[in-house]
Amino acid sequence: MKAPIRVAVTGAAGQIGYSLLFRIASGEMLGKDQPVILQLLELPMEKAQAALKGVMMELDDCAFPLLAGMVGTDDAEVAFKDADIALLVGARPRGPGMERKDLLLENAKIFTAQGAALNKVASRDVKVLVVGNPANTNAYIAMKSAPDLPAKNFTAMLRLDHNRALSQLAAKAGVAVGDIEKLVVWGNHSPTMYPDYRFATANGESLKDKVNDAAWNADTFIPTVGKRGAAIIEARGLSSAASAANAAIDHIHDWVLGSNGKWVTMGVPSDGSYGIPEGVIYGVPVTTKNGEYTRVEGLEIDDFSRAAMDKTLAELEEERAGVAHLL
Ligand code: NAI
């Protein structure tokens, strides 16, 4: 039996947590032969801790053979102790009348503290995925607050956007989702993101040529993917949780176990390529192997794409400027 991997999850009693933890414990994220120890963080409030206790009781009741241990806590340093993987899901939601700026600042407090706790107690190789919104900027804040950890190990979740784009494109092109390669969603996890299928293929065939519909790209595809979160809230009365949890599983699964040559989108600290300033956490195409991601380099950026990529970058730069004084 392999040694267990320690997986920390924040916001563990929330909606996404409820869809996520059972799949991690059943082996869907790290493999059916890989034991895990779950280290779960929730707010100290009685209600949150009681809900966490309930979720842990249910995890017990599943009798997962791969669940080698479980800790529930309101202390980030307990949750992140020796963590190999940290899924930062818990975040402050936007309250009534709350300005975007206030939301950023409230979350900045959470993610500076959690970054510092990771810096202090997590494994030196911890792989961090930030799901809680604003995900890219929260990941940036956590990264800046953890100077002793490799910056490249701080990532933000664009995988839900990537999966949404895959599904829309598959339907339009009449191909199977699993056959699509070389799709990317550039930028921020927000409606400014730029889903880009110019390079996409299915069984070797160019999907841009197959679809051949610039109006669909600009007027349907890009806005549908960008506004999908809002559409789910409108339809369900609740935000996307199962699909977000699924995307988090995909992100970590591929990062740890490899994407088999396929492009996947990860929000990662920029190395300066594609005109994205160094350090900005920006969705880019990567391939993953042996626990490392590698950017897909040298893609041609046409004028339409440049404008779309700059727009989502401008929003990220604005967010970064809004929290700069805290870092
Ligand atoms: P939720 O409100 O159901 O659950 C969040 C949980 O986090 C709550 O139980 C809360 O008590 C806890 N929490 C809040 N602050 C915390 C802290 N400082 N430490 C530990 N726990 C804390 O929300 P849900 O639906 O689970 O979503 C979580 C986050 O994920 C939200 O910020 C949401 O906007 C974001 N999200 C991101 C997506 C992405 O693609 N990047 C997709 C969908 C959601």
ipTM: 0.99
Is 189 a catalytic site residue?
Answer: yes
CA of 88 to the centre of ligand 1 (A): 8
List the pLDDT tens digit at each of the 327 positions of the chain: 899 999 999 999 999 999 999 999 999 999 999 999 999 999 999 999 999 999 999 999 999 999 999 999 999 999 999 999 999 999 998 878 788 788 899 999 999 999 999 999 999 999 999 999 999 999 999 999 999 999 999 999 999 999 999 999 999 999 999 999 999 999 999 999 999 999 999 999 999 999 999 999 999 999 999 999 999 999 999 999 999 999 999 999 999 999 999 999 999 999 999 999 999 999 999 999 999 999 999 999 999 999 999 999 999 999 999 999 988
Ligand 1 probe mutation, 41, 131, 249, most atoms within 8 A of CB = 131
Pair type for strands 205-206 and 194-196: unpaired
**Cα 213 to Cα 58, 218, 275, 297, 301, distances in angstroms:** 49, 9, 27, 26, 19
Distance from chain centroid for Cα 139: 9
CA 168 vs. chain centroid, Å, equals 19
Q: Which residues contact 309 (CB under 8 A, 6 or more apart)?
A: 186, 187, 194, 274, 275, 276, 301
Is the CB–ligand 1 distance for residue 142 below 6 Å? no
Q: Is the CB of 15 under 6 A from ligand 1?
A: yes
Which DSSP symbol is given to 192?
A: T
- Which of 89, 118, 157, 188 is the best mutation target for the ligand 1 pocket, counting ligand atoms within 8 Å of the beta carbon and taking the most? 89
* Residue 13 Cβ contacting ligand 1 at under 6 Å: yes
Residue 17 C-alpha to ligand 1 middle, in angstroms? 8
Q: What are phi and psi of 294, to 5 degrees?
A: -130, 125
**Which residue, judged by its Cα, is nearest atom 4 of ligand 1?**
14
Q: Per the annotation, does 261 bind a ligand?
A: no
Q: Which residue matches tokens 């041609």?
A: 300
Q: How far apart are CA 242 and CA 48, in angstroms?
A: 20
